[in-house]
Structure 1
Amino acid sequence: MGVEPEASKPSWVVPPEGGWTADDLDRLPNLPPHTELIDASLVFATPQTLFHSRAVGFFRRQLESVSPQDLEVVARFTIDIDRQNRPEPDVVVVRGDAIERSEQTRFPAESVLMAIEVVSTESRTRDRETKPVKYARAKIPHYWRVENNEGRAVVYVFELEPATGQYTSTGIFHDRMKVSVPFPVDLDLSQITPRRRQTAEQ
């Protein structure tokens, strides 16, 4: 097998000294879809599982249906935390004034009211440890982490503690999720579980 010519390699294969910046995500050609920037390094998305796809769609639709009119719910959209961090939460709730134009590619972190991450095998450490720290430092008030427990959704809810600047757990939800902040939400989490086709005998 021959060595791939240098000229044919994407420009983002080798990072510059000091790493990539948030602006680079918009400038680098042919980046894979849903590439994130974490600590000046590019993080590439892996293929979605069915659970992940259903969970992202479920929370986007459900929150969109109950959120106040001055808020927007968007799936898989990057947010600017700082020059070296531009993560892409699976779902974000942002203030309506953050929507500036149809061509925009990111939201400022200060416009984000809530970030939701649906945990996958390869993102487990980032979603449980790395991203919550960064979201808290960016003062995002609410963080939800959705886990797959043998095909059933478990939602871990966190709220920013102003005195410490860190997230504190405010609930763990299995079958039904009912919260009053950042706005009233009452969800049947069993709807995320894929429906199995009935057999002929059934």
Structure 2
Amino acid sequence: MTAVPEWMRPPRAEGWFADDLDHLPEAPSHTELIDGALVFMMSPQRIWHTVVIDELRSALRREAPAGIEVLREITIRLDDRNRPEPDILVTADSYDLGATFFTPDQVSLVIEVVSPESAYRDRTIKLRKYAEAGIAHYWIVEEEDRAPVVHVYELDRPTGAYAATGIHRTALRTPVPFLIEIDLTKLIPGRRG
């Protein structure tokens, strides 16, 4: 057994806080904070995951109206103990370039592309936490026969929970958070057209 590196030890008995992420230069990239615990991307990411993120982000950027930006892999400070890093997020284009996170009020859409190691968090924990933080739209992208399937959720304000508004397999069309029309069959090489 090897010893746990000193930087991995929580600075206090209560664990980690959101602002602690900015002071962990030794932490692997894509480190998240969920309920005061550090979550690392330890396994290599599959090519499918990376291609879907890149292609979906590009498609959204083409659709986005002026004043809207589509970014990848930036954390959202949901509260003092939670700072997840979605695969893609949509925000207004007026933000501080030196910031290391967004706040929920700055984000209109969060997208998680599911991988085996993130499946439980994406489908349950993040689904609940993003809704509790008031983020209006959440998409979960799953793999089905090597093709992307997009599960779309919209925040039901009276209940504070997400309501499923659709499962999209070949094409995604939605008027919110802006008019989006994406041919999902073109996101994966070899499945185009």
TM-score greater than 0.5 by the shorter chain? yes
Over the matched positions of the two proteins, sequence identity in percent amounts to 43
The Cα shift of 1:91 comes to: 0.2
The Cα of 1:11 is off from its aligned counterpart by 2.7
1:193 matched to which residue of 2?
188
- Mapped to 2, the partners of 1:29 and 1:185 lie a distance apart of 37
Aligned ranges 1:23-38 → 2 under 5 Å: 23-38=19-34
The normalised TM-score by structure 1 is 0.89
Compute the displacement of 1:192 (Å): 2.3
What residue in structure 1 maps to residue 148 of structure 2? 153
Partners of 1:63 and 1:136 in 2: CA distance: 22
> Any stretches of 5+ residues in structure 2 without a counterpart?
none
In structure 1, stretches of 5+ residues that fail to align are 197-202
Contact 1:77 1:88 in 2 (8 A): yes
> What residue in structure 2 maps to residue 56 of structure 1?
53
Cα distance in 2 for partners of 1:109, 1:94 equals 10
Matched position secondary structure for 2:148? strand
**Runs of 4+ more than 6 Å apart:** none
Whole-Å Cα distance in 1 between the matches of residues 190 and 32 of structure 2?
A: 31
Instruction: State the partner residue of 2:112.
Output: 117
Task: Tell me how large the CA RMSD over aligned residues is.
Answer: 1.5
Structure 2 partner of 1:171? 166
Aligned counterparts of 2:92 and 2:77: Cα–Cα separation in 1:
15
After superposition, what is the alpha-carbon deviation per residue over 1:19-49, rounded to whole angstroms, capped at 9, x for unaligned?
A: 1111111101311001000000000013211
Does residue 11 of structure 1 match 2:6?
Answer: yes
2:138 match: secondary structure:
strand
Structure 2 counterpart of 1:171, one-letter code: G
Aligned counterparts of 1:132 and 1:52: Cα–Cα separation in 2 = 19
Question: What's the CA shift for 1:114?
Answer: 0.4
Contact 2:152 2:164 in 1 (8 A): yes
Are 2:13 and 1:21 equivalent residues in the alignment? no
Q: Residues 132-143 of structure 1 correspond to what in structure 2 (within 5 A)?
A: 132-143=127-138
Alignment: residue pair count: 189
> Which letter does structure 2 place at the counterpart of 1:25?
L
Tell me which residue corresponds to 1:87.
84
